[in-house]
Chains A and B, each alone.
Chain A
């Protein structure tokens, strides 16, 4: 038996930082208030004292410069973890990420590597309205050259961040603001979770539910509720949106013959459509019904918890979609 500890998502992230910074002195942190404050959710608390200001850099309010600095220094052999406080502000850093971080490896004939983790957080649930609650992950899935990770729990965030830091691609590491205080039992011993491998969170036989980030916990709750009605749901967390572990998804749908995709981001032009297409392309003949999606609505996230929870998926909406799909 491995020894375990109970940690929050934020604490698990802090442990991953510390372990990776001790392991490799090229790893450094840059972002707004990542040092003095230890970042908004305190995940890098204590790192400035432990590693000093060269390794933990408090940057001015300059997202383009933070991202550009990450790209430039990565090209010269460093391994930055660049934090953009809210994914909504990544709009300002977009040029550096899309036109440079994602292009230089190919433009240099494979000589210049971009071992960067762009850490950020998105989503609703903290009542911050439309400019601080968006789900923008879809944009990055559509950029060749970027890896896109969405950790759904404390166990996941630690193992995935460690792998992301060691990977030589620019990795978009998109956390969820409503998960920072979620707790989970995780091993004390070091562990990594490989990128590109999905996690079957819950086994089942009637329907495959593919859910990302915060939506994983809603999907699990929905599955537990439906279990009481005799419906057996398999819940899959893809962990990385790209590269996508198609094999795990198809293996599951071949068994259940039904599939529901759940994302907080709106449906149109989104990764949820990509996931559905993968299922259609991979096992169309075996499907008993078309793939169904439960997604955020096509609107700005409104102010306050009552309204914001009404425009994104919840257990009830997932349960309803599954019952519909199975005619139950």
Chain B
């Protein structure tokens, strides 16, 4: 990968890290109201996968998708506003942090785990039948891969060779449930075999590896060569939600070990080795942080969603 591309990915990860930190604080201040699922440590996945999509490609997310959304190009302002219940949010502030749709950016996120997998197949089928070159990317976790929806959706997509890139974001846990105690096979990419798809597992903390694997899958999909399933191995550094009883399912030593494999640190050291100056990276970072604070101040001025909005768009009145 050339240094310019890697630098872009690095900056994206830095943005996501600070964005996620900001959201966590907003949750603590009770300005984000619903369940909030931190993304710390998984930034290479969102940056390496979602930022490769064009606006007219679809992205389906889940309950932990605020960073996926921003990586796909939804603005920090529209995403923050959504999480803070403001009218300028992507769903008008009616969805919150776990479920939202940004129609203009072809972004669809929901909080029913696994449901996005067959939905992605449907979108892929439409693109295939419409003979378009649009593609679909679907993000879900190890937990999501234990649903019936996973198996039904993957089978259909693979059978009909649909232009869908399934990203199995294996962060080692579904809430308190460790992967080893909830999935019968290992690695999880083995599941691809039963749908006659290639078994792909990549290091999810290495943004270059993620990017390359996904780039290949996207070209395949655009060329009409069908579906991919990519297992991205990473680690959820924080609790499933803030303040969950982590001691019930993992040790601090385990978390610390993974912290050493921080995707941002890794990418930074590679960039430095390739001759990028540290102060250049730091300057970019302070600009990112400054802009984020401006975004937050802007959102704090925005009006909350209203009752009129809450009862609108329930259905389309029948035509007379």
> Which A residues are closer than 8 A to B by beta carbons?
32-33, 36-37, 58, 60-65, 88-89, 91-92, 127-132, 297-300, 302-307, 310-311
Contacts and interface: CB of A to CB of B under 8 A. Distances in A.
Given A61-B182, A92-B147, A298 B175 contact: no
A300 B310 CA distance: 8
A303 B175 contact: no
A307 B177 contact: no
B146 A61 contact: yes
Contacts, number: 113
Nearest to B148: A64
B111 interface: yes
Interface stretch (B89-97, B193-201, B209-217): B89-97
A58 B98 contact: no
Contacts of B249: 36
Interface stretch (B2-10, B71-79, B253-261, B301-309): B301-309
Nearest to B175: A33
A259 B65 CA distance: 47
Majority secondary structure of chain A interface residues (helix, strand, loop or mixed): loop
B248 interface: yes
Nearest to B179: A60
8 contacts: A89-B112, A129-B34, A129-B94, A129-B95, A131-B99, A302-B94, A305-B33, A307-B94
B114 A128 contact: no
B26 interface: no
A32 B94 contact: no
Q: Secondary structure at chain B's binding surface: helix, strand, loop or mixed?
A: loop
A311 B310 contact: yes
B272 interface: no
A239 B223 CA distance: 59
B318 interface: no
B96 to A, nearest CB: 4
B34 A307 contact: no
A128 B177 contact: no
Contact of A130 (B99, B176, B305, B309): B99
Contacts of B309: 302
A88 to B, nearest CB: 7
Interface string B135-173: 000000001101111000000000000000000000000
B113 interface: yes
Given A62-B147, A131-B111, A303 B94 contact: yes
Interface residues of B, number: 40
A60 B307 CA distance: 38
Contacts of B175: 32-33, 37
Interface string B91-126: 001111011000000000011111000000000000
Contacts of B33: 127, 303-305
Which of A65, A130, A298 is the most central at the interface, judged by chain B CB atoms within 10 Å of its CB?
A130
B310 A32 contact: no
B182 A60 contact: yes
B183 interface: yes
B185 interface: no
Contact of B143 (A61, A299, A306): A61
Interface string B277-317: 00000000000000000000000000011110111001000
B263 interface: no
A306 B144 CA distance: 32
Contact of A132 (B111, B181, B314): B111
Contacts of A299: 310-311, 314
Contacts of A65: 148
Nearest to B30: A127
A298 B314 contact: yes
B127 to A, nearest CB: 26
Nearest to B85: A304
Nearest to A63: B147
B148 A304 contact: no
Residue picked from A89, A303, A305, A310, most chain B C-beta under 10 Å: A303
A129 B82 CA distance: 12
Contacts of A32: 174-175, 177
B81 to A, nearest CB: 11
A304 B174 CA distance: 25
A40 to B, nearest CB: 9
Contacts of B35: 128, 132
Contacts of A306: 304
A128 B114 CA distance: 18
A303 B96 contact: yes
A132 B98 contact: yes
A61, A298, A299, most chain B CB atoms within 10 A: A61
A62 B148 contact: yes
A269 B112 CA distance: 25
Contacts of A37: 175-176, 244-245, 248
Nearest to A48: B248
Contacts of A130: 94-95, 99
